[in-house]
């Protein structure tokens, strides 16, 4: 995956230059190198649609009107481990959610679909999270697109977002700028793909 290669190269700038030129062949060893360095892979990723764990989340969006949501979906998780305690988590999640917003004297109920991409290096700096949402307000029949970006601690996100109202603009945008705090849980996290860099002495 191009995204996995990009994040791998970004992290390994801290320790050495490394490239991925060989395809993964089994669940034990992949990408052998001439200098006797390679990645040992366990729990290899097999299904691009289903992922390798289940995603649960709840959050609050501090916007023009405060919004509370719950989410469920699937996740592809990868842990990459490099020398000297370095490495990263790459977490990609997608799914659906429900939210409720109190605006004036009315509760607005909404359904949403989301995709998010989180990168968390073990050195903590350069960590970031991105999330995109489509939201349909069942009460006002409004449609929103909401991109967001910020920081992640894997199980906790803090993202800035902006909600773009796509229709029924005379009713007004309920959200506009927002700051969301989201708590996440990954069921079966033990199934995440694991890559360990191994360097063996030459004989």
Q: What is the pLDDT of residues 60-100, one digit of tens each?
A: 999 999 999 999 999 999 999 988 778 999 999 999 999 99
Structure tokens at 113: 């679909």
The Cβ of residue 41 has, within 10 Å, a number of other Cβ atoms equal to 21
Which band of pLDDT confidence, cut at 50, 70 and 90, is reported for residue 48? confident
Structure tokens at 66: 């405060």
As a whole number of angstroms, the distance between CA 1 and CA 27 comes to: 16
Which band of pLDDT confidence, cut at 50, 70 and 90, is reported for residue 203? low
Tell whether the model's pLDDT for residue 57 goes beyond 90: yes
Top-confidence residue, 16 or 66? 66
58: closest CA among 181, 191, 196?
181
Q: What are the boundaries of each domain within the chain?
A: 2-199
What local confidence, expressed as pLDDT, does residue 45 receive? 82
What local confidence, expressed as pLDDT, does residue 14 receive? 42
150: closest CA among 141, 161, 159, 142?
159
Q: Mind giving me the DSSP string for 94-123? A: EEEEEEEEEETTEEEEEEEEEEEEEEEETT
Name the average pLDDT for the chain: 85
As a whole number of angstroms, the distance between CA 86 and CA 13 comes to: 11
| DSSP-derived 3-state class of residue 165 | strand
Q: Which residues contact 31 (CB under 8 A, 6 or more apart)?
A: 20, 21, 22, 24, 38, 39
Cβ-contact 166, 144 below 8 angstroms: yes
**Per the confidence metrics, is the pTM higher than 0.75?**
yes
Q: Give Dmax over CA atoms of the chain in angstroms.
A: 76
What local confidence, expressed as pLDDT, does residue 110 receive? 98
What local confidence, expressed as pLDDT, does residue 3 receive? 55
Angle at 170 between CA 167 and CA 174, to 5 degrees: 75
Buried b (16+ CB within 10 A) or exposed e, 47-76: eeeebbbbbebebbbebbbebebebebbbb
What local confidence, expressed as pLDDT, does residue 151 receive? 96
What local confidence, expressed as pLDDT, does residue 201 receive? 64
């Amino acid at each position: 995956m191009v995204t996995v290669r990009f994040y791998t190269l970004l992290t390994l700038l801290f320790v050495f230059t490394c490239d991925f030129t060989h395809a993964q062949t089994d669940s034990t060893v992949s990408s052998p190198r001439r200098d006797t360095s390679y990645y040992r892979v366990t729990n290899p990723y097999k299904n691009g649609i289903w992922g390798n764990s289940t995603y649960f989340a709840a959050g609050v969006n501090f916007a023009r009107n405060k919004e509370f949501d719950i989410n469920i979906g699937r996740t592809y998780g990868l842990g990459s481990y490099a020398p000297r305690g370095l490495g990263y988590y790459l977490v990609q999640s997608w799914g659906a959610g429900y939210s409720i917003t109190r605006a004036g004297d009315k509760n607005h109920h909404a359904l949403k679909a989301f995709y998010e991409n989180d990168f968390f290096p073990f050195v903590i700096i350069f960590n970031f999270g991105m999330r995109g949402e489509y939201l349909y307000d069942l009460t006002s029949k409004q449609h929103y697109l909401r991109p967001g970006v910020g920081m992640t601690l894997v199980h906790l996100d803090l993202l800035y977002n902006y909600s773009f109202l796509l229709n029924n603009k005379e009713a007004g945008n309920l959200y506009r700028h927002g700051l969301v705090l989201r708590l996440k849980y990954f069921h079966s996290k033990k199934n995440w793909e694991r890559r360990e860099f191994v360097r063996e002495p030459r004989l």
